[in-house]
A = this chain, B = another copy of it.
């Protein structure tokens, strides 16, 4: 019985990070307040999980001003995209193994 989870990435062992990466996989970029609304999480929860992904270089941060208000946008990196795809394929293998 293969239980190979070698592609499983501990960084994604978290609901909010799974959701953040899903959004960034499906979009070119996404800003902080839109992410916060979409995921329905607190500023602190979102910020700490974005920080963890940034620290791994799985996402990149872009700061600018929109109508003179600070705007922070996030994008996936190639490294993040690849790591997340591997993590999902590990989970998918586990799911198919159980079903």
Contact = CB atoms under 8 A, between A and B. Distances in A.
Nearest to A5: B15
Nearest to A21: B98
Contacts of A14: 13
A91 interface: yes
A23 interface: yes
B98 A26 contact: yes
Contacts of A84: 98
Given A13-B15, A88-B94, 12 more contacts: A1-B23, A5-B19, A8-B15, A10-B15, A13-B14, A18-B91, A18-B94, A22-B94, A26-B97, A91-B95, A92-B95, A95-B95
